[in-house]
Amino acid sequence: MKSVLVTLAVAASLVLYSCGGGSSSENTSNNAPVSNAGSEPAMMDNKEAIDVNAPSTSKGVGKFTDVKVADAIDAKMADQGKEVFQTKCTACHQATDQKLIGPGLKGITKIRTPEWIMNMITDPEKMTHSDPVAIALFNEFNQTQMTNQGLTDQEARQVLEFLRQNDAQ
């Protein structure tokens, strides 16, 4: 019984650490705190609430301003993206509509632009401090800061292709 409890405690610690429970500066690109509960930039002060499930044409805030995607899914890239997603994202997100620590991602490519998705993947701190939709998501999910997993631009593009394939099914 004692070994089961120890195993559960270790597993819970790993999940919390992978979702931002650790304090290592590796988790963020700007050494900002992992949780921004109560910080001014992410607090919504306007009277109009943003529907996080509504389609948006925003490209977000970040280096991605023009992401070209083909009409056809690149199956090889999507397979690579699935592997990255399973390794880096599934502690907090599902490829279904099921919410975990963060939102379920089924349908995300139908309501967000490729640029927004890639900016959120590669610099979530900047997005949750500057982009109205990301701020609304941050607030909806108990002001839990999405962890910067340090994905390369290519890995982010692969994850985008996986999400596009997932939404096409």
Q: What is the pLDDT of residue 49?
A: 87
Q: Is the dihedral of CA 102, 156, 33, 9 positive or negative?
A: positive
Q: Which domain holds residue 41?
A: 2-168
User: According to the model, what pLDDT value does residue 1 have?
Assistant: 56
Q: Please give the Cα distance from 116 to 28 (Å, whole number).
A: 18
Query: CATH number, domain at 133?
Result: 1.10.760.10
Global pTM exceeds 0.95: no
Mean pLDDT by 10 residues, the chain (169 residues): 50 46 37 40 57 96 97 98 98 96 97 98 98 96 96 98 97
Closest CA to 88 of 126, 127, 122: 122
Q: What is the pLDDT of residue 2?
A: 57
Overall domain count for the chain? 1
Task: Supply the pLDDT for residue 148.
Answer: 97
